[in-house]
Amino acid sequence: FRLRGATCPMMVLTARDGINDRVRGLNAGADDYLLKPFAMEELIARLRAILRRPGAALSVLLSSGDLTFDTIGRELRVRGELVSMPRREMEMLEHLLRRAGKVIPKRVLEESLYGFDDEVSSNTVEVLVSRLRKRLQLTAAGVTVHTLRGIGYMLADGKA
């Protein structure tokens, strides 16, 4: 991973607790190594510590059209004005912004937005996309979520 030039922060989450395993993981380029089981509070604290390091937050602002999303502060702005939206819509928009102009398969969105414990019906993603489209239209964000039937979704500049 690091040999290919990757510079994003990396944390190893594993049950392998031997000193050799930890040393090998860190020498391979991991910024941190956390043993399972772990407390969620510790994971969050370690992630925040990694992100505080210089150069760790590679892509803080994502933008498309008139939208700007601060991935660290979790703030969405349209032409500088703060816009609030439900968590799932915000998460979906972030996924679409990270891959703006590229198709994201429905299955990938579903897996990244919902956990094993969440009850997800066959049209959950479609409903979420519909709500997000309406919100983007109301805010005149200058972006559109396109459906590529049977393939997935794509965020693009401009209107539908």
How are beta strands 61-64 and 67-70 bridged, if at all? antiparallel
Residue pLDDT, tens place only, 55-94:
654 557 888 999 999 888 888 999 989 999 999 899 999 9
In 3D space, the residue among 136, 131, 151, 123 whose CA is nearest the CA of residue 97 turns out to be 136
Tokens of 24: 């090998």
Q: Is the pTM of this model over 0.75?
A: no
2-52: CATH topology:
Rossmann fold (3.40.50)
pLDDT, greater one: 121 or 40:
40
CA dist., res. 41 & res. 44, Å (int): 5
Give 61-157's CATH code, choosing from 3.40.50.1950, 1.10.240.10, 1.10.3720.10, 1.10.10.10.
1.10.10.10
Largest CA distance in the chain: 55
